[in-house]
A and B are shown apart, each in its own frame.
Chain A
């Protein structure tokens, strides 16, 4: 059998391919998992909106044949908040990197999670600023070499799933780009769940982070993920720090329920009308 059309073709802006990502980069895997999850979800694709900030991951929406917004650095979440509140029917997913969402966008992240805006945030964590050439990030493990930590990082990094759960996210999971099936299922679960969902995807940056830290080729990194990853659903997110030598604890850590911003706001408006 000859397949002359890639099954994803219709979901991508083919006229924008080839993409900008390096060979062995994990971002394409995340994009594929998102599309696969969206197809499986039954969500009307014209009601699906993808939003990003700036960076390598921030380029995902530009390749998606969906309503897509590539905003400013760190600002995907407040932009997404506006679009979601304006039209709650839209299924809004944010795809952005660790630097974008947790350094420059950190304040927006904790407040969007606190408000429980009905958004799905997929953060590709490659431990570095890939697009600008591999500088130290708020996720870079201690001792890791980067373009701005040339003698080894000495700053304590964020544990993203811990931040997300502490800030109030109602769904928190972590997978690596090796866990394609689990990642796709997690995205599906998150996008169909009401409330602020967060998925961290550990992903290789073969050009910057892996090279400066001598982690080998893309294949070597996949092997590394296979050897180091430990699936622990329901594990305390506070105990899932990632270091240069630790296990990578993956799984679904939080899956809870609470009213969203829109639920509460609608209730609030309804009461105002009743009391009139």
Chain B
């Protein structure tokens, strides 16, 4: 299907998965992400794909990893409580370098929290939620259209960098209905699987290119691969020592960190005249933030918005540049201080930094953001 549709962010996300090449979806019902699974259960059986409802989110995450090694692009979707359960095997996906897409439709939290209401408080969990050192790619849509576009993008990034990619959407985007343009198949550019450049007798499973990215065959391709969650060498064999650990973990981290500029995706609004005040925001919260910028511009304030499309890896360069020009920075997000910590870290005292947070349950109103900006500008840094 393609053309213009009126659909919510969850449905758009499912359609983005299908357009992105997803042919196996494994999930478990959870508000407010259930519509993604429901849509997949309607669509995949009709296009030669597999939908399976697993026994829990732990199984869902494992199932998509297995499917990926079986040669099929795969995806799951959940919300906070399920996201917590997926952390264990997100780590397996990271260390085994398995392309797949995990959608988190964030809701108010912690724990069961606010199942039907918005939140953005899983951002640091997205960054660090599984144990150990690693880097991850996380992208955050602010509209149903972006839920569609970014899910395609997530599949492409996962194949390109051989890593799980997180789509950090939220209840408001998930349940918001807007116009969405679904692209015809021939207009979508899909990243192919990085198949081994060498025959089985010459190929090492975790050999890698100059960007630290490996290739991999699928199970059944005749390569007789060994894939393990243990620290492993280039052959994929477990080697339990500090030297192998150092080499592997540094490469896993560098695979994302050193390619950050290539992965980075952000959009500036009213940023061309190097504004004095810059709001950094992402996902649903970037929408009231943009409204704030427009209102304050009308009042003559030199203010701009940096909307992060890719939140992780964190776009250090652009934040640093802004911090050295702006006189103050505000991070607006629907949590009590997560991405703002990264903004402050990278800003490194170049200009005062403030977080305009929210505990969740509703999105910020432009009025409360304006009020907080005014108070902070008056009182200075806390």
Contact = CB atoms under 8 A, between A and B. Distances in A.
Interface size class of B (residues with CB under 8 A): 35 or more
Interface in B53-75: 54-56, 58-60, 62-72, 74
B219 A71 contact: no
A108 B85 CA distance: 14
B45 A272 contact: yes
Given A70-B227, A75-B59, A83 B67 contact: yes
Contact of B224 (A65, A72, A82): A65
B363 interface: no
Q: Which of B74, B223, B226 has the most CB of A within 10 A?
A: B226
Given A78-B58, A268-B45, A62 B24 contact: no
Interface string B199-235: 0000000000000000000111111111111100000
A81 interface: yes
B219 A87 contact: yes
Contact of A82 (B45, B66, B220): B66
Interface in B78-102: 88-89, 91-92
Interface in A215-240: none
A78 B59 contact: yes
B59 A85 contact: no
B359 interface: no
Contacts of B74: 82, 86
B45 A79 contact: no
Contacts of B218: 87
A269 B70 CA distance: 20
Task: State the main secondary structure of chain A at its contact with B.
Answer: helix
Nearest to B45: A269
Contacts of A80: 66
B50 interface: yes
Interface string A70-108: 111001011111111111011000000000000000011
A67 B223 contact: yes
Interface in B40-57: 45-46, 48, 50, 52, 54-56
Interface of B: 24, 26, 45-46, 48, 50, 52, 54-56, 58-60, 62-72, 74, 88-89, 91-92, 218-230, 237-238
